[in-house]
């Protein structure tokens, strides 16, 4: 680590892709429906893998899913999904690839009845939950809010939305602010 670099959360490596994500996106409140959908998909793709693996593939995912165009994803045929499984630029897991189509269809149904931004943010009362963790060990892998979101998403027919994935999604989209107190991002985000 360069001594002139700002202090970041302990999970952030010296990879520039990771640092940019940490500094500019992680923990910043997101209220854009398209961005929330993209992040929910990416968190599901990450299941069982490291987050940096997904971040490195993010731009390619944006290409193959046309910037996470929900109608495009929902209408993909089995043949198109089978072809996608041959693409080394994505995580070639059959359940995840087919799950993305399922989730796009579930998102369409959710949008027919609700504002998806308000619906997702309801699990934190509409405002970011500000944590004041001094160390990474104080940050949970899941919470009651994440369990409630997971249960509701599963009921709405989403897949790859377990409580741990939902908590990571909440952290990523700023529903929860989990930057540690020594991190350079903490003061501005903790102030709300």
Predicted confidence at residue 159, as pLDDT, reads: 98
Beta bridge partners of 130: 177
Mean pLDDT of 157-179: 98
By the 8 A CB rule, do 186 and 180 touch?
yes
User: Is 9 a known ligand-binding residue?
Assistant: yes
Mean per-residue pLDDT over the chain, rounded:
96
Give the pair of three-digit tokens for residue 138: 């104080």
Phi, psi of 130 (to 5 degrees): -95, 115
pLDDT at 64 over 80: yes
By the 8 A CB rule, do 39 and 46 touch?
no
pLDDT at 79 over 70: yes
Reported as a single tens digit per residue, the pLDDT across 96-124 is 999 999 999 999 999 999 999 999 999 99
User: Is 184 a known ligand-binding residue?
Assistant: no
Mean pLDDT of 165-191: 97
Residues with a known catalytic role: 21, 43, 51
Beta bridge partners of 129: 176
Give the pair of three-digit tokens for residue 189: 């985000």
By the 8 A CB rule, do 117 and 32 touch?
yes
By the 8 A CB rule, do 8 and 23 touch?
yes
Give the pair of three-digit tokens for residue 49: 């893998």
User: Is 22 a known ligand-binding residue?
Assistant: yes
How would residue 1 be classed by pLDDT, with cut points 50, 70 and 90? low
User: Is 30 a known ligand-binding residue?
Assistant: no
CA distance 99 to 7: 37
């Amino acid at each position: 680590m360069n001594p002139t670099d700002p202090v970041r959360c302990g999970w952030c490596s010296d990879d520039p892709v990771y640092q940019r994500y940490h500094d500019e996106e992680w923990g910043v409140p997101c209220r854009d429906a398209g961005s929330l959908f993209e992040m929910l998909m990416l968190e599901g793709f990450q299941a069982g893998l490291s987050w940096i693996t997904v971040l490195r593939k993010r731009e390619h995912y944006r290409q193959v899913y046309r910037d996470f165009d929900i109608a495009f994803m929902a209408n993909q045929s089995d043949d198109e999904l089978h072809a996608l499984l041959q693409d080394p630029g994505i995580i070639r897991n059959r359940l995840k690839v087919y799950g993305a189509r399922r989730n796009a269809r579930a998102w369409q149904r959710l949008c027919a009845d609700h504002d998806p931004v308000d619906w997702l943010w309801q699990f934190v009362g509409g405002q970011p939950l500000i944590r004041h963790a001094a160390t990474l060990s104080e940050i949970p892998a899941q919470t009651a809010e994440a369990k409630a979101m997971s249960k509701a998403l599963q009921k709405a027919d989403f897949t790859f939305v377990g409580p741990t994935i939902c908590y990571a999604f909440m952290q990523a989209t700023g529903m929860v602010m989990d930057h540690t107190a020594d991190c350079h991002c903490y003061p501005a985000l903790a102030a709300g």
